[in-house]
A and B are shown apart, each in its own frame.
Chain A
Amino acid sequence: MSVYAINKLCRRVVQEPELRRALSDAPEETLRAARPPLSDSEIELLLAGDVGALARLGTNHFLLHQLARWGLLGLDLPTHGERIRAAFPDQVLRSP
């Protein structure tokens, strides 16, 4: 598990509009071309938008939410929140 590679991808998403376009147009191809390289299992989780599993593996939560903020890999912010909460049910806060 190269958490750094996933974190780096999420960081680049914020700063690189062309990467966002590529991830929208050809997600698997773009993920396979990522540097540092992502493993097959990481690509599978990313393509599934499984941020809960990625978070449990140690990916930076703040960076991970950038995928949803930019509407990538089938994610949006409500979906991100739902999946992160489902992955850590004991930590969910009650809304004020």
Chain B
Amino acid sequence: MAELVGAFGLPHNPHFPSLVRDGAPLAEEVSEMYAKIADGLAAARPDVVLYITSDHYNLFFEALPLFMIGVAESAVGPSDYPSIPQREVAIDSELARHLQRQLVGHDFDVGCLQELTLDHTVIAPLSFIDPDGRFPLVPFFINAFLRPLPSASRCYALGHALRAALAAYPAADRVAVVASGSFSVEIGGPRVFEDAHVGVPDPAWTERVLELLRAADIETLVRESTDEQMAKAGNAAGEVLDWIAMLGMFEPKPPATLDVQPWFGHAYATWPAP
């Protein structure tokens, strides 16, 4: 029986690694916020990290699964941002294949990637929370970009099924889960700021998500994360589904830490020993 030893939510802005490297004005804040995740992850002492993210058309386009899990032995990335140093990430293939089998057994039609690359949504945060590659990953992908997206309730149920799948694992592994994504963000679309190619179309939604996280009212978060609301919040705002799947893996409780960058529409959260 594998044990969930920590849960974390974070953003994956592809420019943060170079911004910190170059000592830009936001560098200190970004470093400090990621450091809380890194500290929490280290304290959880996981054997493996289940990493829930959403591909940005780097892996999937011609064929577009709603749910997919990486079962290769390792993967290289990032595939999309040369400014982030390339690295090879070990994958716990055995656990990944177990999770896929168990999820399919729970009626979740999850496909598998026997060969894959990783994009900035994985590699950028890893450069802060696990720069030395201490933890093997199990990468899990939820379609948050090209509609139709899976529903929030389906993703929450997916989290429940992942929890049950961990409980059915023969080895006593310590597993942490990380959800990667923002709540309100538009990239390259019309709802961008006057001087940028990105924007935060619905800051009120970001505030609402944070309010519900603080209140541990996940049922309401699931109910309010409608397709219409996610579309209103930006063309990348479906990433809240990654968080909802992660939140489905443990009983609702307020995060121990919650740091917010509202002008990016995202947050950093930790749930130790959930």
Contacts and interface: CB of A to CB of B under 8 A. Distances in A.
A65 B187 contact: yes
Interface residues of A, number: 28
A62 B193 contact: no
B80 interface: yes
A44 B216 CA distance: 52
A61 to B, nearest CB: 4
Interface string B159-198: 0000000000000000000000000001111111111110
Given A15-B79, A84-B192, A92-B190, A62 B197 contact: no
B119 to A, nearest CB: 9
B80 A14 contact: yes
Chain B contact residues, majority secondary structure: loop
A22 B150 CA distance: 37
Given A15-B79, A68-B197, A80-B197, A88 B190 contact: yes
**Residue in B80, B146, B193, B236 with the greatest tally of chain A CB atoms within 10 Å:** B193
Interface residues of B, number: 27
Nearest to B56: A62
Nearest to B187: A62
Contact of A63 (B57, B62, B197): B57
B188 A95 contact: no
B263 A96 contact: yes
A15 to B, nearest CB: 7
Interface of B: 56-58, 61-62, 79-80, 145-146, 186-197, 199-201, 235-236, 263
